[in-house]
Amino acid sequence: MSLPRAGIAILVLAAFSSWGCGGARAPAPGPRGTVRFACEPEDAVLEVDETRLGPVGMFAGRGLLLAPGEHRVVLRAPGHFPEYRLIEVVEDELLVVEISLRPVPD
């Protein structure tokens, strides 16, 4: 028995929709602190606690809400050495992290 193409498309869409949007979860409730990043170059990619978040410029204005405590931050950009930092987030406080990545010599 063969399914028409439309039937196959519906089955594929149903399978994908059942997986949901893993990255679109709301932050867990609880206390938070705000971290703002000022980085050079601005297109460096931000990782927090081994989770890739995207270009650091996305978090320059409003910042990033994180649970209080220690977090591992990594910034990476092509042609630059990665920068690793441990930051301490305090509930209801703003932490500004300034990082200038060092270029890899030719």
- Structural domains of the chain in order of their starting residue, each with its CATH number: 26-100 (2.60.40)
pLDDT recorded at residue 7: 46
pLDDT recorded at residue 46: 96
Residue count of the chain, please give it.
106
pLDDT recorded at residue 58: 87
pLDDT recorded at residue 101: 97
pLDDT recorded at residue 27: 54
- One pLDDT digit (tens) per residue for the chain, 106 residues: 454 555 444 443 344 343 444 444 455 678 999 999 999 998 999 999 999 999 998 887 889 999 999 999 999 999 999 999 999 999 999 999 999 999 999 8
Strands 33-40, 94-100: pairing is parallel
CA 90, 92, 98: angle at the middle one, nearest 5? 60
| Cα–Cα dist 74/46, whole Å | 6
pLDDT recorded at residue 12: 38
**What is the CB-side half-sphere exposure of residue 29 using CA atoms within 13 A?**
0
